[in-house]
Amino acid sequence: MTTRATTGAPPRDLRDFYENPAVPVASGTPRSLRQARMLARALGPAAGAPRTVLDIGCGDGTAAATAAPLLPGHRVIGVDWSQDALRRARTRIPYAVRGELTGGGLPFASGSADAVLFSEVVEHLVDPDAALDEIRRILRPGGHLMLSTPNLAAWYNRGLLLAGVQPVFSEVSLRGIHGRPGKEVVGHLRLYTARALKEFVAASGFTVVRLEGAPFHGVPRPLRPLDRLACARPQLASILLLHARRT
């Protein structure tokens, strides 16, 4: 899940915000494709029984649909809390079920998943620690976590902070944008640097395998070549793509 916008009356709470059908729930295709390629390299070709890949916070199913052609023989299942998102996801992927990371937990047995896609979800969570605990529960030992999230220390955010401007991806209200570029309210509660993300995931019982960078579709067109160039150094990239394995 990435950029989200509110329309009409302000949301009463976060659940209202994310259930709003006017709110976009798709990750950008370039980073979804990069993440899918990372997962395909990690899983390898299907041999024998298909492996189970859960796209948790699947939104409209774009990331899962992007990954599926690169994962022939494997089973990709979308999971989301929003009923509206699930309706859209089911037009793109064969399997999409309702579930949430808090409360009663996800509707899967412990150790039942081989891999989890977690695309631009962690930055929206009140309790990311509990979310990683639940993901670790459903992953088999050695299972793969593919997590993506915006980079607080992206190359342009470093300059904005020096100028006293609120960083891109951050916000102070669910009702409007204040003090930063952009027009859409995105609902981000947590932001990570590359170092913070690696330490957080490792502390949650995972071994970090690889960190890559990805571009952000919201960068102005004249600056997009620079944004793509920054991907070579994940610490400066717009989006962080992390591959970790359950210990």
**What one-character-per-residue DSSP string does 155-186 give?**
HHHHHHHHTT-PPTT--S-SS---SSS-S---
Which tens digits make up the pLDDT trace of 191-223? 999 999 999 999 999 999 999 999 999 999 999
What per-residue confidence (pLDDT) applies to 10? 43
What per-residue confidence (pLDDT) applies to 17? 58
| Mean of pLDDT values over 51-80 | 94
In 3D space, the residue among 127, 175, 181 whose CA is nearest the CA of residue 154 turns out to be 181
Which tens digits make up the pLDDT trace of 29-43? 788 899 999 999 999
102 has pLDDT over 90:
no
Q: Per-residue confidence at 140, pLDDT binned at 50, 70, 90? A: very high
Distances in whole angstroms, Cα of residue 133 to Cα of each of 56, 64, 101, 159, 202: 13, 22, 9, 35, 12
| Mean of pLDDT values over 171-180 | 93
| Mean of pLDDT values over 13-25 | 56
Distance between CA atoms of 211 and 100, rounded to whole angstroms? 26
98 has pLDDT over 60:
yes
What per-residue confidence (pLDDT) applies to 1? 38
86 has pLDDT over 60:
yes
- For helices 128-138 and 194-203, angle between their N-to-C axes, nearest 10 degrees: 50
Higher pLDDT, 46 or 241: 241
Instruction: List the structure tokens of 65.
Output: 């649909």
Query: Measured over all CA atoms, what is the biggest interatomic distance in the chain, rounded to whole angstroms?
Result: 56
7 has pLDDT over 50:
no
Cβ atoms of 59 and 36 within 8 Å: the answer is no
Dihedral sign computed on CA atoms, order 24, 101, 49, 208: positive
What per-residue confidence (pLDDT) applies to 72? 92
pLDDT-wise least confident of 20-34, 161-175, 207-221: 20-34
The DSSP string of 223-246 is GHHHHHHHTTSTTTSSEEEEEEEE
Instruction: List the structure tokens of 179.
Output: 């003090």
